[in-house]
Structures are given as structure tokens and as C-alpha cells.
Amino acid sequence: MVLSRFSLRMKSSMVIRFDFRPFTVEVAGGLGSQFFGYFAGQYFSQLFDSRLRIDLVDASYAHSDQFDITSFDLPGHFSHPASHTIRLRRFLRRVGDHVRVKFSINGRFIGRFTKRFVEIPGSAFDYNLKDLLTRSHRISGFYVTYRYLELLQQSGQFETVKLKRPSDWFLQLEAEARLTNPVMIHIRRGDFLDAKDTLGVLREEYFANAIANLPDGLKENPYWIFSNDISHVMEWTVFDGEKVKFIYQAADGDPAESLKLFTLGSACIISNSSFSFFGAMLSERPVTVICPEPSAKDTTHAMAEWFPPAWTRIQSLFL
């Protein structure tokens, strides 16, 4: 029998605990989605008093072929598997997922055999999940809920994020944001246009309504616009005016810098996107956040509890 944890009791009745088994989270998707898995792993690693290991085997580089959450100064050990290891593990994962779907086996059952808890997509936060993880100590999936990060913030374990190596582009805009207190607005288009009938793409009218719902004291602040289709949204009449600033980032720029800029706003108007969600959740101060309800055009794709109750919800208006 191999022991992964033991305690040494000293004469002073002080107990020193040793834990050699890390808690591993296999993060998935792009920058924002990786954060969901990361904070779930951070929460459980602290719950089990274990070291945190972040496996990037399922990280997506669709939006940037060189950047991921390692651009931020985050606690934990990050593992970048070699390319041949990634291909093999993803093949085996697809086989396992096919078997799981074919025989209607949920993640909890799989976990008994592979020691890996596979999230059921769209699942709500489950306080009893910790009881299932005492054996596996490994999770994979998206874990799309505000609760893991909120629990870490409430316990004083996590506040916001810092960049490891900010560029001159970021530092210049950071100084301007701290001086002018802009309202941050994120418009997700681009890849979402391929999923406009499921996830949904928000129309210009949604953002006009969101601006109208801002507190009166913020409506005169500058508006900073973030989008992966910036040339298109520049044509929207809702963004006419001298106080509107469109945030351009070079094609080879680090999207982590744009996300960090978003945390500096006096208010946040977000899309149904994990990028702007974390830009708001990781804000350096309490701010007004306006979010769409429902979060998906096809409500079967909506997350069970994505946005915190305190955020202002307005009607989603999809293409």
C-alpha cells in the first residue's frame, strides 16, 4: 500500500502534514475557459491541502498559437505535454468519450476506473463533489460557474491576476485606464458567428440597452470597446462619439493583456463569453456588471449558473 499523505506529531502537539499527491486539473478551451478549470482546481487543491498541477493537454490555441493562462502569474505547477503525447492522449480521450456517450456513462462512473472526474457539461456547482474527488484527485472539463472563484475570493485566497511580462502596449493603456476610469465593453463575434444558432451572437441593440442601464454616474465615462471583430463594431452607431476608444491588439499580441485591461474598468458590459466574464470577475474593485440573460440563443446550451446573482441581467438580443 502506497501512502500519499501522512502526519508527524511533535511533542508540542503540533501536527506537520505531508502530502505527496498533487491535485491535477486538465484545463480546456481558450484563455477564458482555461480559467474556469484552473479556479476549480485551485479550490479543490486548497480543500484537500494538496499541491496544484495544471495539465494543458486540452488547452485550445485557436485564437493564439502561443499564449495561454501561463501568461499570468498564477500559483501552481503548469505542465505542457510534448506534441506526440498530446496527440496520443487526445486520441485515447476521444475513444473514452465515445464509449461514455454510447453507453450513457456519466463522469462519476468513469472516475471510479480512470481516477479522473469528467465534468458533465453545463453542470451546476456541486458541494458534494469534494466527496467524489478524494479518490481521483484529477478533474477535467470546463466547470462553468462563478462559484469556485467567488469562494476563493471570499476566503481571501484569490483577488485578481497579474501579468508576468507586460508589454509597453499594455503598460501605456493601463496607465490611461487608471486615470480615466473607462466602462469596459466586450463584443464577441468572430468564431461565435459559426455558432450563432446555438451559443448566439449579441446584436448592437443589446449593447445599446446595456449602456442605458448603466448607473447615471458612469454614463459619461469613456467607453473602451474590445472585440475579435473590431472593424465591424466600429460601424455601429451606438459607439459614435469622442469618448469611445477601440482597443486594437496586434495579431501576435497576448490576449491575456486585453483580459487584464478589462479588469481595470469602472463598469463592465459583457457578452456571453468567458473572456469578458473573467474580465469582470477579476476586477480590481467592486464594479457594476451588465450581462445577457439568457446566456445562449439555444437555451439547451446555457450554463446552469454562470453569472453571479449580483450582476445586472438584461434581455439578450441575438442575431
* pLDDT < 70 regions, the chain: 1-20, 62-65, 81-115, 135
Q: Which residues contact 290 (CB under 8 A, 6 or more apart)?
A: 210, 213, 214, 267, 268, 269, 270, 311, 312, 313, 314
Q: Give the pLDDT of residue 109.
A: 46
Q: Give the pLDDT of residue 116.
A: 75
Q: For Cα atoms 271, 69, 289, give the angle at the middle one, nearest 5 degrees.
A: 30
Q: With a threshold of 0.95, does the pTM exceed it?
A: no
Q: Give the pLDDT of residue 226.
A: 97
Q: Give the pLDDT of residue 180.
A: 97
Query: What does the pLDDT look like over 186-220, one tens digit per residue?
Result: 999 999 999 999 999 999 999 999 999 999 999 99
Are the beta carbons of 54 and 78 closer than 8 angstroms?
yes
Q: Give the pLDDT of residue 66.
A: 74
Q: Give the pLDDT of residue 67.
A: 85
Q: How far apart are the first and last CA of the chain?
A: 59
Long-range contacts of 192-199 (CB under 8 A, 24+ apart): 192/273, 196/297, 196/318, 196/319, 197/297, 197/298, 198/296, 198/297, 198/298, 198/301, 199/272, 199/296, 199/297, 199/298, 199/301
Tally the C-alpha atoms within 13 A of residue 123's C-alpha that lie toward its C-beta.
20
| Rounded Cα distance, 193 and 199, in Å | 9
Grid coordinates representing 222?
469613456
Q: For Cα atoms 230, 234, 62, give the angle at the middle one, nearest 5 degrees.
A: 10
